[in-house]
Amino acid sequence: MGYVDEVLASVIEKNPSQPEFHQAVKEVLESLRPVIDANEEAYRKDALLERLVEPDRQFMFRVPWVDDKGQVQVNRGFRVQFNNSIGPYKGGLRLHPSVNLGIIKFLGFEQIFKNSLTGLPIGGGKGGSDFDPKGKSDREVMAFCQSFMTELCKYIGADTDVPAGDIGTGAREIGYMFGQYKKIRGLYEGVLTGKGLSYGGSLARTEATGYGLLYLTAEMLKCNGSDIAGKTVCVSGAGNVAIYAIQKAQQLGAKVVTCSDSTGWVYDPDGIDVAALQEIKEVKRARLTEYKNYRPNAEYHEGRGVWSVKCDVALPCATQNELTLDDAKTLVANGVTAVAEGANMPTTYEATQYLLENKVLFAPGKAANAGGVATSALEMSQNSERLSWTFEEVDSKLQGIMVNIFHNMDDAAKRYGFEGNYVVGANIAGFEKVANAMTAQGIC
Ligand code: GLU
């Protein structure tokens, strides 16, 4: 058995009931084969892959809090510090009922390579809880966040591990967590990113993941003789990533006709109204069923169905494994030319292979959605300098970072004879830097 196969088999054996983690490791290691094969002896001797797939440490803890009826609720909290060979652990906190250790490990593993691809000094980590902020009062959310941080604060710090937002964790949650960290640790430091602008947040961080997704997609299309302007785009999701992806796509001259949430999806033939979407999702925290009140010509459908709409470009911005093989077949039959992942691992392994085989330009999430964490690293820089940069400064740095990521993954794919395969390119480019740093730092 080859080295990659041995490590894959052992990951599956040692981490039962963590299918998403297996999937993420498989996708990365499979595409690293050319690099691993070329250095097999040295990597094997150093157990480089075994060290890469085993987190530095994993915290799992009880999060008790009191709801509005006076009832005590207990959730489970997680923080996985995966790899800090190129910088302090960095990665978001996901608050969603689907969260378990396997999900956090898949996200943390992806984060290592994503953060490396940004070119900035940040390691990989991830955390969260099975707490569901949906339908909770502000006071309940605050009670949860304070309890969560009471435990988490023991393991994080501005130079150690810097969490941020993810699904379910936005400005409100980051604010409550920052307040609690400051109170317990007595430190006013950049321990979290995605902070409010009045207490150390960065301009353009809110928009960064969605905007970055479009900057990378536009560059990918341009370098393949196409143009984002004039394209019909399908977006899934209606959260932070989706909203700002739609906004930037429209600014760049594309027409976005769909979005979705956990209950249903919208088709708006005239193009999604971002202001309406922001009011429904960011202000009212309501369901997409309300969209028709703002746009009578739009259709609302229960369930899932975004990928059945004919489009040139598909941007999955909701959650993992939301774009299946059947969806990929429909997209290809409808003439899709590019898919770029705004969410983390939204495309299943089989769907990804199908899109690649059918010559669809495919930008994997660890490259395409890296704009969020990259801008978090810019927030860390501003906190260290005790300065804030203008929106234009941050946005233009973000643009430069996304264009660089595209070219780094494109070059890496070419170097190993996989021209145009950005999955292979992104994994190799992300891996090389981490592997070099791990090797230089000895066995640890
Ligand atoms: N949760 C985002 C991600 O998946 C952002 C993480 C961060 O800003 O640290 O990359």
Sheet containing strand 264-267, edge to edge, reads 299-302, 264-267, 255-260, 232-236, 313-316, 338-340, 361-363
Task: Look up tokens 């704009």; give the residue.
Answer: 371
Helix ranges (H only) for 234-282 are 240-251, 274-278
3-state SS assignment for residue 420: coil
Query: Of residues 126, 248, 281, 366, which has the active-site annotation?
Result: 126
Interval between CA 253 and ligand 1 midpoint (Å)? 27
429 has pLDDT over 90: yes
Q: Is the CB of 94 under 6 A from ligand 1?
A: no
* 184 band by pLDDT with thresholds 50, 70 and 90: very high
* Residue 433 a catalytic site member: no
160 has pLDDT over 90: yes
C-alpha closest to that of 403 among 359, 432, 363: 363
Q: What confidence score (pLDDT) does residue 405 get?
A: 98
Please report, rounded to a whole number, the percentage of residues in the chain having pLDDT higher than 70: 100
Whole-Å CA distances, 323 to 166, 268, 317, 340 = 19, 20, 10, 11
Helix ranges (H only) for 153-280 are 171-185, 205-223, 240-251, 274-278
pLDDT in tens, 286-343: 999 999 999 999 999 999 999 999 999 999 999 999 999 999 999 999 999 999 999 9
Average the pLDDT over 394-403 and give the result: 98
166 has pLDDT over 90: yes
Beta-strand ranges (E) seen in 10-145 are: 57-66, 72-83, 89-95, 123-129
> Who contacts 418 (Cβ-Cβ below 8 Å, separation ≥6)?
34, 424, 425
Atom of ligand 1 nearest to the CA of 93: 1
pLDDT in tens, 336-376: 999 999 999 999 999 999 999 999 999 999 999 999 999 99
Calculate the CA dihedral of residues 317, 22, 94, 211 and round it to 10 degrees: -30
Question: Considering the chain, what is the average pLDDT of its residues?
Answer: 98
Q: Is the CB of 237 under 6 A from ligand 1?
A: no
Interval between CA 91 and ligand 1 midpoint (Å)? 5
Check whether 271 is labelled as a binding-site residue.
no
Q: What confidence score (pLDDT) does residue 128 get?
A: 99
* Contact yes or no for 88/122 (Cβ under 8 A): yes
Vertex 393, ends 392 and 395: CA angle to 5°? Answer: 60
264 has pLDDT over 90: yes
Whole-Å CA distances, 77 to 60, 89, 107, 182, 188 = 6, 17, 15, 19, 23
* Contact yes or no for 246/280 (Cβ under 8 A): no
> Strand pairing of 299-302 and 264-267?
antiparallel
C-alpha closest to that of 341 among 206, 193, 220: 220
Interval between CA 164 and ligand 1 midpoint (Å)? 6
Q: What confidence score (pLDDT) does residue 30 get?
A: 96
d(CA 444, CA 434): 13
Could you tell me which CATH number the domain at 3-189 has?
Answer: 3.40.50.10860
The encoded tokens of residue 214 equal 């479009």
- Give the domain ranges of the chain: 3-189, 206-363
Please report, rounded to a whole number, the percentage of residues in the chain having pLDDT higher than 90: 100
Q: Is the CB of 169 under 6 A from ligand 1?
A: no
Task: Look up tokens 């708006």; give the residue.
Answer: 268
Interval between CA 409 and ligand 1 midpoint (Å)? 20
Check whether 321 is labelled as a binding-site residue.
no
3-state SS assignment for residue 90: strand
Q: Is the CB of 212 under 6 A from ligand 1?
A: no
pLDDT in tens, 101-117: 999 999 999 999 999 99
> Who contacts 21 (Cβ-Cβ below 8 Å, separation ≥6)?
11, 15, 102, 103, 105, 106, 109
Atom of ligand 1 nearest to the CA of 344: 4
* 1 band by pLDDT with thresholds 50, 70 and 90: confident
Domains 3-189 and 206-363 share a fold: yes
Architecture of domain 206-363: 3-Layer(aba) Sandwich (3.40)
Q: Is the CB of 91 under 6 A from ligand 1?
A: yes
C-alpha closest to that of 307 among 269, 343, 348, 265: 265
Vertex 311, ends 310 and 317: CA angle to 5°? Answer: 115
* 229 band by pLDDT with thresholds 50, 70 and 90: very high
3-state SS assignment for residue 12: helix
3-state SS assignment for residue 268: coil
The encoded tokens of residue 292 equal 């028709």
3-state SS assignment for residue 129: strand
Q: Which of 111, 205, 401 to mutate to test the pocket of ligand 1 (most atoms within 8 A of CB)?
A: 111
Check whether 388 is labelled as a binding-site residue.
no
* Contact yes or no for 91/373 (Cβ under 8 A): yes
